[in-house]
Amino acid sequence: MKTVLFDLMVSQPVAGSKFHGGGEYVKTVFQKLCLDYLSNIRLIVFYDPKRYLDDWIYEIIRKNRIITYEVHDYSEVRKIPEFSDVNVFFAGLMTGLRTLNFPSNTKVIGVYHGFRSLELPIEKTAPLYENTIKGKVKVYTKLLMGRYYYNRKYKDMKGLISKCTYIVGVSEHSGYAAQVFFPDFPMDKIKVYYSPPKYIETVPGIDEIKKEKFVLMLGGNRWGKNIYRGILALDGLFSKRKMDEYNVRIVGGIPRDILRKIKNKDRFISLDYLSTENLEKTYKACDIFFYPTLNEGFGYPPLEAMKYGTTCVISAVNSLPEIYKDSVYYCNPYDISEMQGRLLQAAENKIPEIAISKHVKYIGDKQRKDLENLCKLIADPTGFSNENERGYKNADNTKNNPLLLVRGGRAA
């Protein structure tokens, strides 16, 4: 029976976000292992007792008598008594690998959820999302020092990947991106498994929620989600007396500099943090889900809205066309007029709910199958060669990497 050390710390709040996509991914994998694989593996987990962890996870740990260690940072992980004898270390986010070095007998499985820091290290609208002088200075510095910032991120990511036996991407896009950015990593050690469906507890009264005439957007405080250009598109439509019956609700708030630029302020409602229950109700109630994101490794949010039959307008970038195919309307997230056209189309010509439902089922079936395959890999990672198990040496290839050229804050 193999011993698996599982990092639950990456499922806890990070950078002010109580819930985040990578964390929800980790929780789902943990739940699946506990449901179906405890007879095959000896599972050990660690987390930070000072940070939030879902009650249902505590309950799974208690019910299954899982060996648990409380740590406050990754330096303490090495002090776990079983650390040197662990067969598999699972990192659902690779951040923890930065300060950990593993014995040669440990197989490290690291998940990367995309390469935004390499594909889109910074963007010219980013300063608008900062409400403090310190934050703006930091962003402007990144814009001015694009090449240096990119090179630093590249070396950091290369260092994390060099510690892995297998790396797992969450979409075909991310799988091929790994080959582009890290061509020395063995192709047979790059696995692609779609992000699993999120675990959502039953929401009381969800069936009674009816559709309302509002457009929902997420990530108001994150420049990568591109709400600034999305707001310009919607605000412009309102000024043209289009979509008169609609308002807009933005989860994550509206940064001050962006709010100042809105002409029809009364049509935009700023929502800060929403609990899982309230977010699900908002997904159910919205008439259009608008997601003009600039970069995605997988892209959970449209699926979360589509499970309620909602018509979505989303960016045609990265993994999104692969995941959503013809079940949504696509737009160029840098083109205001194109976004306006797709929003009008979504308002006047809804995608049939049966088509949306069919695609949600298709993706869900693949997600569940891929989750099973990922858990099998964690429980019994086979097919390793004795030579070069860690993939490749962490050499500095930045001088020869053609993707290091950065123009205007975007990787060329």
Strand pairing class (166-169; 107-112): parallel
Pick from 335, 332, 327: nearest CA to 362: 327
**Residue ranges in the chain whose pLDDT is less than 70:** 15-18, 382-412
User: pLDDT digit string (tens) for 299-357?
Assistant: 999 999 999 999 999 999 999 999 999 999 999 999 999 999 999 999 999 999 999 99
pLDDT, tens only, 69-113: 999 999 999 999 999 999 999 999 998 899 999 999 999 999 999
Write out the two tokens for 212.
């309302």
Please report, in angstroms and rounded to a whole number, the separation of the first and last CA atoms in the chain.
Answer: 47
The predicted structure's pLDDT at residue 325: 95
- pLDDT in the model for residue 16: 61
Q: What is the pLDDT of residue 20?
A: 73
Contact 263/234 with Cβ under 8 angstroms?
no
Beta strand pairing call for 268-271 and 288-291: unpaired
* Res 15: pLDDT: 66
In the numeric block, the tokens 């693949």 are attached to 366
Predicted pLDDT at 371 = 96
User: What DSSP state is assigned to residue 184?
Assistant: T
Question: For residue 382, what are its two tokens?
Answer: 């086979």
- Report the C-alpha dihedral over residues 183, 185, 191, 193, rounded to 10 degrees: -60
Q: Which residues contact 124 (CB under 8 A, 6 or more apart)?
A: 143, 408, 409
pTM: 0.87
pLDDT at 191: 96
